[in-house]
Chain A
Amino acid sequence: MLDKSIKELSEGLQSGAFSSVELTQRYLDRITRLDSRYNSFVTVDEASAMAQAKAADARIAKGEATLWTGIPLAHKDVFCTDGLRTTCGSRMLENFVPPYDATVTANFKQAGAVCLGKTNMDEFAMGSSNENSYFGKVINPWSDEIERVPGGSSGGSAAAVAARLAPVATGTDTGGSIRQPASFCGITGLKPTYGRVSRYGMIAYASSLDQGGPMARSAEDAALMLQVMAGHDPKDSTSIKQDVPDYAAALEQSIKGLRIGLPREFFNAQLDSRIQNILQDAIKVLEAQGAIFSEVSLPNVELGIPAYYVIAPAECSANLSRFDGVRYGHRCEAPEDLMDLYMRSRSEGFGDEVQRRILIGTYALSAGYYDAYYGKAQQVRRLIKNDYVNAFGNVDVILSPTTPSTTFGIGSKGEDPVQMYLEDIYTITTNLAGLPGISLPAGQIDGLPIGMQLTGNYFDEARILNVAHQFQNATDWHTQAPHGIHD
């Protein structure tokens, strides 16, 4: 049952092979038994999950079920859930219970899915290893003799899906936060086009880059999740009014004649030769299905990381100002005056990495520095976007590595934050350009999974899901599970 696809689970539920109560209980039991190892959940709400499962079973019995009715899933703890604690991995929101649902969680509720709980994450989605959570590190289920990171910031969702503690989970991606943990945990994760999925109720890190997306074991499951998540939302004026295609229907299209670009700047001497080989094998698989490969150039992508680390902190420095200890969230004990209330509440409530990025952003926006930093970064962002627009003039999809390495050991990146920032080198430009990208398992190095990334043109999620699905039809990397997770 743990390896069943969403479609298979749905068929099982509707044929009466098992009930949603049984299915949900099974996952809740696994979380209780196994998650002390991984720490992938921050909050599990058994009572509410079981109540939702019962309601789903009642609908199934009445013949009112749809695809998602009764299927359990987990939400990254960045999505607000009505009546269920939403922490964003921060002490600041340790006791915050939102009185509203994010549009994404509301959509799944509406579709009949059962929420098992909220997954761990880097605090306020800032991090690439999930070592920055107030609720503790997440351990990658693929860990060998070394305890390894699941990646971040959606590390809890990635670990939970990899460890089969949830069939699927939601994530968010600002610079690679879905795709990098997907690569590290051997799962499939998609960051949609900016504006495709509503950001309402998704606690903002960097508003112009944040997108929610699916994290699953296959492109097919990811497509079914995206169907629920995507669409215009009047509550988010940056969400775009564009029809949502039938993603599942597009999966089976042939990729014969499809033009796939390989960016010269990513396939260079710095790329680990083992990853290079894995990608060459993947290219052969797709070539065998008729895809045509060519080199493309993205001349400005090397500026992606510096531009990102100005823009994202600048936006976060304003986005996180609302956490001031006045209306909700952490408030320091016995403040002496207003300034003391602000300073202590924020110093106590935010972890080091969050404080670092607020300071970077505040500095970058300061009078006298704005043009040199924020203004320049926005120019770079436009250049990078133009690079992609030019490339998509010649190709339909771009294939690249997702990450520069497989999962690394906890604590191994040391104290230098820049080492960690370089983790996002292949994913970050997709966010700056606002394009959709998917990471899917492409092979293993020393028994550890590694992903490849497919980037599509704007609103072309169906196409990259299609290519990913065709690859998965021909390979079994996505079905590999870490050791020690089966009952």
Chain B
Amino acid sequence: MQWETVIGLEIHVQLATKSKIFSGSSTAFGAEPNTQASAVDLALPGTLPVPNEQAFRYAILFGLAIDAEINKRSVFERKNYFYPDLPKGYQTTQLDKPIVGPGHVEVDLPDGSSKTVRIHHAHLEEDAGKSLHEDFHGMSGIDLNRAGTPLIEIVTEPDMRSSEEAVAFAKKLHSIVTSLGICDGDMSQGSMRFDVNISVRPVGQEEYGTRTETKNLNSFRFMERAIKLEVERQIDVIEDGGRIVQETRLYDGDKDLSRSMRSKEEANDYRYFPCPDLLPVVFEDDYIEALKEQMPELPDARKARFVAQYSLSDYDASILSADAATAQYFETVAEHAGDAKLSANWVMGELSGRLNSEDILIQNCPVSAKALGQLVLRVKDGTISSSGAKKVFGILWQGEQNDVDQIIDQEGLKQVSDTGALEAMVDEVLAGMPDQIAQYKAADEKKRKKLMGGFMGPLMKASKGQGNPKLFNEILQRKLNG
């Protein structure tokens, strides 16, 4: 039988506010446990929540970016359950009156087509703390630094039909929230976490199959794997005559396995009710209009601009415009280099390869965009070869030096572009290679191209790597074909 996959996502996005949603504590990541937890965050008796306006502003910006209705009156509710890292014994969240109503996101798919994913709603809520299960001699530790960090939970309609679509949507969402500057986008630190609802149904069937929810996926790769794994599992179960149980599952990325966490029967009754400590939040039209004026450039608009302004391909433009930090970095490089295409190649090639392999965000890149721009300029004006440039890049990456011209001098990487000197070198090398010359002359056009490389190696060696390869090539062509 042919199966169709149906996927809906719930995404928790940590908002990049300086302080927490209901207290003045810092939201910075990585501090010593419980040093960023105030009396409010610890839920000491008598303490009360005070809403952080910046969190609301960020949520509204998101709503505007996905063309959603903004609920001018939104209400916080208490979601009641006991857990050690939930200090109040309830999470303050929104249920019936979320701040962001229905909207939609346009997604470019890898095959070049595009698709609309509908957003059911997005609501504001507070994050919980963290339970630490190691190194406490049979006990668990609790770190409440994260407790009270503002989140928006974005809930989609079940509009995605494959892991590729889900990942493309997730990347687009990442691109939107980082472009808005409302989230740092650092998934390794949990800034975006995905819950995936998955079901399968025979192709052509209208009714949805029973779904499972795989929780807390924090990388695009894990998300793709987890979906594929779960789809296979569900199809296997059904084809073996079994039935899918509605349940929550956990995916272990290290082992590439998922397991059941709890079934629907074991689900909590959260006993939601409106939080009496917080009045309904009401926004006037003026407030929302003023935010519209402040909207930063969004990925789709930026991509169109990159194509028009820099003559980039659609593909290059979509990669470079995806997140605000990359886009800004690229634009600075291009400005200093004066060559957008070459800059794009460097940013998408050498730079992003290095960032990925060392798992560093572009915001924290040790090579400044200005320095890379100067490096690209030196490639463009022929001062150095591309292999020389890679060497300079390696030195820049160390983070101790940032003057490109000085590094080129110090490393002796300046190319020889004096044609007289280069021609002399060519003559000398060719003199020692009569057999190869004969072979070359006997070869056809296609083979000649291959054989050309056999001359370049010795030439580069003779010039100690400093000969301008482009000029060497021209001279060789002239001498051998002439």
B360 in the interface, Cβ–Cβ < 8 Å? no
B50 in the interface, Cβ–Cβ < 8 Å? yes
Question: How many of chain B's residues have a CB under 8 angstroms from any CB in A?
Answer: 28
Q: Please tell me if the beta carbons of B44 and A100 are within 8 angstroms of each other in the complex.
A: yes
Which A residues from 315 to 334 make CB contacts under 8 A with B?
315, 317-318, 321-324, 326-328
- B220 CB to closest chain A CB, in angstroms? 34
- B150 CB to closest chain A CB, in angstroms? 15
List residues of chain B with CB within 8 A of the CB of A269. none
Q: How many A-B residue pairs have CB under 8 A?
A: 100
- B270 CB to closest chain A CB, in angstroms? 8
List residues of chain A with CB within 8 A of the CB of B39. 99-100
B89 in the interface, Cβ–Cβ < 8 Å? yes
List residues of chain A with CB within 8 A of the CB of B78. 318
Q: Please tell me if the beta carbons of A200 and B269 are within 8 angstroms of each other in the complex.
A: no
B172 in the interface, Cβ–Cβ < 8 Å? no
CA distance A93 to B45 in the complex (A): 10
User: Which of A80, A88, A326, A338 lies at the interface centre, i.e. has the most chain B CB atoms within 10 A of its CB?
Assistant: A326
- A86 CB to closest chain B CB, in angstroms? 7
Q: Please tell me if the beta carbons of A98 and B48 are within 8 angstroms of each other in the complex.
A: no
CA distance A98 to B482 in the complex (A): 94
Chain A contact residues: over half helix, strand or loop, or mixed?
loop
Q: Please tell me if the beta carbons of B271 and A238 are within 8 angstroms of each other in the complex.
A: no
Cβ-neighbour of B277 out of A98, A102, A237, A365 (below 8 A): A237
List residues of chain A with CB within 8 A of the CB of B46. 79-80, 98, 102, 199-204
B273 in the interface, Cβ–Cβ < 8 Å? yes
List residues of chain B with CB within 8 A of the CB of A79. 46
CA distance A80 to B142 in the complex (A): 25
Which A residues from 294 to 332 make CB contacts under 8 A with B?
314-315, 317-318, 321-324, 326-328
Cβ-neighbour of A321 out of B47, B51, B88, B277 (below 8 A): B88
List residues of chain B with CB within 8 A of the CB of A367. 269, 271
Q: Please tell me if the beta carbons of A98 and B45 are within 8 angstroms of each other in the complex.
A: yes
Q: Please tell me if the beta carbons of B89 and A324 are within 8 angstroms of each other in the complex.
A: yes
Given the interface pairs A338-B84, A342-B82, the reply to whether A200 lies near B47 with Cβ below 8 Å is: yes
Q: Please tell me if the beta carbons of B80 and A80 are within 8 angstroms of each other in the complex.
A: no
A18 in the interface, Cβ–Cβ < 8 Å? no
B276 in the interface, Cβ–Cβ < 8 Å? yes
A48 in the interface, Cβ–Cβ < 8 Å? no
Given the interface pairs A96-B45, A237-B48, A326-B142, the reply to whether A362 lies near B82 with Cβ below 8 Å is: no
Which A residues from 53 to 79 make CB contacts under 8 A with B?
79
B278 in the interface, Cβ–Cβ < 8 Å? yes
Cβ-neighbour of A370 out of B47, B50, B84, B273 (below 8 A): B273
CA distance A342 to B89 in the complex (A): 11
Q: Please tell me if the beta carbons of A207 and B276 are within 8 angstroms of each other in the complex.
A: yes
Q: Please tell me if the beta carbons of A234 and B277 are within 8 angstroms of each other in the complex.
A: no
CA distance A214 to B44 in the complex (A): 25
Provide the B74-87 mask, 1 if CB < 8 A to any CB of A, else 0: 00001010101001
List residues of chain B with CB within 8 A of the CB of A247. none
Q: Please tell me if the beta carbons of A237 and B279 are within 8 angstroms of each other in the complex.
A: yes
B222 in the interface, Cβ–Cβ < 8 Å? no
B42 in the interface, Cβ–Cβ < 8 Å? yes
B43 in the interface, Cβ–Cβ < 8 Å? yes
Q: Please tell me if the beta carbons of B42 and A327 are within 8 angstroms of each other in the complex.
A: yes
CA distance A207 to B51 in the complex (A): 16
A276 in the interface, Cβ–Cβ < 8 Å? no
Cβ-neighbour of A236 out of B48, B84, B87 (below 8 A): B48
By Cβ-Cβ distance, the 8 closest A-B pairs, closest first, are A321-B89, A208-B276, A207-B276, A365-B271, A201-B46, A322-B43, A203-B45, A203-B46
Extra pairs beyond A102-B46, A314-B273 (8, CB < 8 Å): A86-B45, A93-B45, A100-B39, A236-B48, A237-B49, A237-B51, A318-B90, A365-B272
Cross-chain pairs A/B with CB under 8 angstroms, 22 sampled: A80-B46, A96-B45, A102-B46, A200-B47, A201-B47, A202-B46, A236-B48, A237-B49, A237-B277, A237-B279, A315-B276, A317-B80, A318-B89, A318-B271, A321-B80, A321-B89, A322-B43, A322-B45, A322-B87, A324-B84, A324-B89, A327-B142
